[in-house]
Structure 1
Amino acid sequence: MALKRRIIWLAAGLGGLAMAAWILLAPQPLSQDAMAGLTGDPVRGEQVFWAAGCAGCHADFDAKGDEKLILRGGQRFASPFGTFVAPNISPHPQAGIGSWSALDLANAMKRGVSPEGEHYYPAFPYASYARADLQDIADLHAFLMTLPPDPTPSQPHEVGFPFNIRAALGGWKLLFLTDDWVVTGDLTEQEARGRYLVEALGHCGECHTPRNALGGMQLNLWLAGAPSPDGKGRIPNITPGALDWSQADIVEYLTSGFTPDYDSAGGHMALVVQNTAHLPESDRAAIAAYLKRVPPVAERP
């Protein structure tokens, strides 16, 4: 009888632990009224679209002009965890996100949660978008719904075991998902705007900051450069410890893609410049001012 009671208590304890783990690891969407009172403005949303770099991943890599507004997805992003494929985020009601509400978009961007209540992989940079303003997301949603719908189906990610177990992403989020600012202190209004563009919408840290073994950004080495996720080359250190460009140099680079040495942006950075070139010069200047406030990290071998 005593053995039976112990077995019952053990089973109950394991059940309780399983329930606690399920709660901790479950997706945590925003409240249903999170977007209450917010009306999206598609004109403002276009600026959010370029600042957030949506076309850089979700349009064709070689898209030009208005083709950048056809967000059929399909670009492939290799990483140590597998290859991720950008999905269709055009307003097509079946193939894209045409049926999404502004709240659905906010949950995806700030919490990494799909409308079906599943975890997204952090290849979608919600670890940065978590800092985005809800009004900006409402505006972005309004703009996205004005774009051409495309019927191209999204392709599945190529991710093997154990990284294909999405429930484990709840643990990843517990460790690494935060809406705290990386650079704190007494920033000017211009520097604060630059911080928002770099740390939130522009998600610059996703590429320029090294990651630990679990894929979390090492915030103590913020923007200090990192190996390219595809294993080819290195993404540069853009802290003042390595980047000696003037603020005017940075603004020019984000406008034209030309460096002070008359080199030019290549690869995916060329797409980033195509996005930042759409921003007002005041925003590019704000990014430059912020980068000068980032704690310097010496160039690493």
Structure 2
Amino acid sequence: MTRILLTGSTGQVGWELQRTLMTLGEVITAGRESSSGLHMDLSNPDTIRYVIREVQPDLIVNPAAYTAVDKAETEPELAMAVNGTAPGVIAEEAKLLGAGVIHYSTDYVFNGNQPTPYTEENEPDPENIYGKTKLAGEKAIQAVDVPHLILRTSWVYGLRGKNFLLTMLKLAREREELKVVNDQVGAPTWSRMIAESTAQILSQSTQDLIGFLSSNSGIYHLTATGQTSWYGFAKAIFEYDPNPSEQKLKNLLAIPSEQYPTPAKRPAYSSLDTQKISHTFGLTLPSWQRNLELVLDS
């Protein structure tokens, strides 16, 4: 049976991956709060190496990351340790074992100046510390030349953790007016869709997982289809809210980014082109609106 080591199992994507990966093999979780008791601190390479050598996995799936985009501006060393250095350590240990790696990255590796969706061929140029550290992690994995998939996603949300969806639902029940940025465009992506798509890809490996990853190694864009602004996303959340009678909200106002300054600069446009992953693995990716409906129905 395939042994799968999963990091960040308490995070938005990691939580969903626990369930979807169970159909593919034995899932062993590791992290600062893992139920398995395997303590892996991604800011400490020694703990990463220890856990991987202890588990001896066939596949390492790494959704864990430092995701506090604004806080990263004042904690660049920690963000780089977790997002930039740790993936390289994971890749090195995987290569020693003859294992494969699945790693998740972000739309924030791009500067947002392009008017059309970014493909995997477009040159990254991150504008904030978070994006720079995530790009460093991608490059660290590629440098090791281990069988790998790097899956870039965007605007991740779900029904657990801290995310835009839960924040908006909460604020709509507390305030009569909300102002939301309307000049940043991307694709809101459900954490469960990311996990289910990952499992769909891996299920195609049949008997030879490492051969499958070797022949398909590279970067792929994995997001819901379509695009919207944060304002458009918020508007849809309130429209699809299954309990609208609980809302106090009366006014939803669209504002430019300059009226909502943040420590980290966000790309104005970070929609990702998903044709490569769809064509390579035969995935049919849902629209962001359909995903949102499914989340709120559940």
TM-score where L is the length of structure 2: 0.33
The answer to which structure has the higher strand fraction is 2
Instruction: Name the larger-Rg structure.
Output: 1
TM-score where L is the length of structure 1: 0.33
